[in-house]
C-alpha cells in the first residue's frame, strides 16, 4: 500500500486544527479600533455563536442553560482556567481537583496558586472512582475542577456524575471543555456546570490565541474580581461583554475569525456536527483496531473514549521516531504522547470541519507509516474498516466550512 507523498498537507493534531478559507480570510480585513462600533458588531456575532455552542450542544437541539454570559478572552484556555479559579476562590478556600491526565493536572496546579487543593488523582487515562470523588467533595469544598475531554489520553470523563456530587455540596463546578465543546454533547444545567471553558483552535476551528468561557448567572453571583489577576478580573470582562467589548485591547483579527467559525457551526447545527464527530472518531478507532493496533486507554465504567481525539498505542517492536518520520514524509501531522506517554501512544484529532476523506487519508497514512517502521499491521483492513464506518459517500467540506453529503446523517 503506497500513498502519494505529494498530497496536500493534512493537519490531524489535537489543536490547532485546520481552518476553512472563510475563517482565514476574515483575518485579512482592514484593521479597526477595538472600541469601534464595527468591532462591537463583530464581538456580538462571535458571542451569539458562542452562546449557541455553549447552550445547545445536544443531539436534540434543546437549550441546556437557564442563563449565563459567553466571554471572549484574549488568551488561550489556560487563561480561562486561571480566571475561573482566581475569581471564585481565595487563599483559605478548598478546591477539589480531579486529575487523570495532563490538563487535569494543569487545573490542579493553577488552583494551587490561589487556594488549598485536595486532589482526586488516578493514573493518566484511568477512570475516577465516584465513591472517592464523593468523599473528597464536602460542605467545606469551595470549588470543583474537572476536564471533560482529556486531550492527553483521549478519554471522555463523567462530568454529569461529578456535577451531581458537587451540586449536593453547593460547590461551584468549573469544567474544561476545551476539546469537547463544539464537537460533542455538553449540558450546562443538566450537569450542574457553573463555568465552562473552551479554546478557539480546537473543535471551534478558529485560529489559536483566543478562548471562551461561559459564566452562568449563578456563578456570576460568586465572582470576586478583586482577588484575581488584573487581566483576568471577570467582573471587568462581564461588564464589558454587556457592551460587546473586552476590558483591554482586543485581538481584532482573531475575534473576526472566531465569529465566522462559530457562525459556520450554527449553520451546520450542533446535532449534525456532534453526529459527524462521533462517526469520524469511530472510523479512526475501528480503522486502527482493524489494522492490528491497540487502543489506549482502557475505559471502564462511566469513562469512555473521546469522540474528538483518538489515542492509540505504538507497537513495542517499532522505533517511534521511524513512525513519526514516515507520517511526516507523507505530509500529515499528528501528535505523540505527552510527558511519560511520549513514545507510547500517538493521537489524532477529528475536531473541526474535517471531511470524511481526510479521516480516510489519516487512517491510510498511519497504516503505511506503521508498515514502513516495521510494525506487523494490515493497513488495507484498517482503511476498509474506516470506510465502512464513514459510508461510501465520504463527505467534503464546502467553502463555508459546513459538511455536505455526510454519510450516516
Architecture of the domain delimited by 10-18+271-404: Alpha-Beta Complex (3.90)
In sequence order, the 6+-apart residues with CB closer than 8 A to the CB of 20 are 205, 261, 264, 353, 397, 399, 400, 401
Q: How far is 252 from 52, CA to CA, in rounded Å?
A: 21
Q: Hey, what's the cell of 246?
A: 473586552
pLDDT at 379: 97
Candidates 258, 274, 51, 261; CA nearest to 183 is 274
With both helix axes pointing from N to C terminus, report the angle between 252-268 and 270-290 in degrees, rounded to the nearest 10.
90
CB 399 within 8 A of CB 21: yes
CB 309 within 8 A of CB 102: no
CB 390 within 8 A of CB 9: no
Neighbours of 41 (CB within 10 A): 13
pLDDT at 62: 76
Q: What is the maximum alpha-carbon separation in the chain?
A: 61
pLDDT at 6: 57
| pLDDT digits 0-9 by tens, 68-110 | 999 999 999 999 999 999 999 999 999 999 999 999 999 999 9
Instruction: Tell me the CA distances in angstroms from 304 to 136, 149, 203, 281, one per residue in order.
Output: 23, 10, 18, 12
pLDDT at 397: 38
> What pTM value is reported for the model?
0.92
Domain ranges of the chain: 10-18+271-404, 21-267
Q: What is the pLDDT along the chain (409 residues), one digit of tens a residue?
A: 444 455 789 999 999 999 999 999 999 999 999 999 999 999 999 999 999 999 999 998 777 787 999 999 999 999 999 999 999 999 999 999 999 999 999 999 999 999 999 999 999 999 999 999 999 999 999 999 999 999 999 999 999 999 999 999 999 999 999 999 999 999 999 999 999 999 999 999 999 999 999 999 999 999 999 999 999 999 999 999 999 999 999 999 999 999 999 999 999 999 999 999 999 999 999 999 999 999 998 777 788 999 999 999 999 999 999 999 999 999 999 999 999 999 999 999 999 999 999 999 999 999 999 999 999 999 999 999 999 999 954 443 333 333 322 222 2
Candidates 396, 370, 401; CA nearest to 383 is 370
| pLDDT digits 0-9 by tens, 329-339 | 999 999 999 99
Laid out side by side, the sheet with 335-336 consists of 309-313, 345-349, 335-336
Instruction: Tell me the CA distances in angstroms from 87 to 81, 140, 209, 373, one per residue in order.
Output: 10, 18, 22, 49
**Positive/negative CA dihedral, 267, 395, 183, 179:** negative
Helix (H) or strand (E) holding 273: helix 270-290
How many angstroms from the chain centroid is the CA of residue 399? 23
Q: Hey, what's the cell of 255?
A: 475575534
DSSP 295: B
Find out if CATH 1.10.760.10 is the number for domain 21-267: no
Same fold yes or no, 10-18+271-404 and 21-267: no
Pairing of strands 155-156, 309-313: unpaired
CB 150 within 8 A of CB 157: yes
| E-assigned strand segments in 314-366 | 332-333, 335-336, 345-349
Amino acid at each position: 500500500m503506497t500513498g502519494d507523498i505529494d498530497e496536500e498537507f493534512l493537519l490531524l493534531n489535537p489543536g490547532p486544527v485546520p481552518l476553512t478559507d472563510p475563517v482565514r480570510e476574515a483575518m485579512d480585513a482592514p484593521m479597526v479600533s477595538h472600541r469601534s462600533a464595527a468591532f462591537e458588531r463583530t464581538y456580538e456575532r462571535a458571542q451569539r455563536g458562542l452562546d449557541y455552542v455553549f447552550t445547545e450542544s445536544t443531539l436534540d437541539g434543546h437549550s441546556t442553560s437557564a442563563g449565563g454570559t459567553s466571554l471572549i478572552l484574549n488568551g488561550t484556555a489556560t487563561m480561562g482556567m486561571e480566571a475561573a479559579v482566581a475569581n471564585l476562590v481565595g487563599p483559605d478556600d478548598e478546591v477539589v481537583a480531579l486529575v487523570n491526565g495532563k490538563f487535569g493536572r494543569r487545573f490542579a496546579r493553577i488552583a494551587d496558586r490561589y487556594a488549598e487543593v485536595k486532589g482526586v488523582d488516578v493514573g493518566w487515562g484511568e477512570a475516577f472512582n465516584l465513591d472517592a470523588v464523593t468523599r473528597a467533595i464536602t460542605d467545606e469544598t469551595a470549588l470543583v475542577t474537572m476536564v471533560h475531554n482529556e486531550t492527553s489520553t483521549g478519554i471522555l470523563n463523567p462530568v454529569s456524575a461529578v456535577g451531581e456530587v458537587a451540586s449536593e455540596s453547593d460547590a461551584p463546578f468549573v469544567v474544561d471543555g476545551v476539546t469537547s465543546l463544539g464537537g460533542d454533547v455538553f449540558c450546562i444545567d443538566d450537569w450542574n456546570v457553573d463555568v465552562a471553558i473552551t479554546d478557539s483552535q480546537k473543535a471551534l476551528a478558529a485560529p489559536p490565541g483566543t478562548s471562551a468561557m461561559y459564566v452562568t448567572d449563578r456563578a456570576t453571583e460568586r465572582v470576586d474580581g478583586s482577588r484575581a489577576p488584573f487581566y483576568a478580573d471577570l467582573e471587568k470582562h462581564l461588564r464589558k461583554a454587556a457592551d460587546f467589548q473586552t476590558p483591554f485591547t482586543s485581538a481584532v483579527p482573531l475575534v473576526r475569525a472566531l465569529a465566522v467559525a462559530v457562525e459556520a457551526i450554527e449553520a451546520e447545527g450542533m446535532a449534525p456536527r456532534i453526529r459527524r464527530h462521533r462517526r469520524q472518531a469511530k472510523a479512526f478507532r475501528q480503522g486502527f483496531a482493524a489494522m492490528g493496533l491497540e487502543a489506549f486507554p482502557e475505559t471502564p465504567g462511566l469513562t469512555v473514549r473521546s469522540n474528538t481525539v483518538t489515542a492509540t498505542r505504538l507497537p513495542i517492536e517499532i522505533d517511534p521516531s521511524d513512525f513519526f518520520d514516515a507520517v511526516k514524509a507523507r505530509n500529515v501531522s499528528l501528535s505523540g504522547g505527552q510527558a511519560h506517554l511520549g513514545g507510547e501512544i500517538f493521537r489524532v484529532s477529528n475536531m473541526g470541519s474535517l471531511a470524511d476523506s481526510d479521516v480516510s487519508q489519516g487512517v491510510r497514512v498511519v497504516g503505511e507509516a506503521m508498515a514502513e517502521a516495521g510494525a506487523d499491521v494490515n493497513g488495507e483492513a484498517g482503511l476498509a474498516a474506516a470506510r465502512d464506518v464513514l459510508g461510501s459517500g465520504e463527505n467534503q467540506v464546502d467553502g463555508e466550512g459546513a459538511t455536505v453529503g455526510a454519510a450516516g446523517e
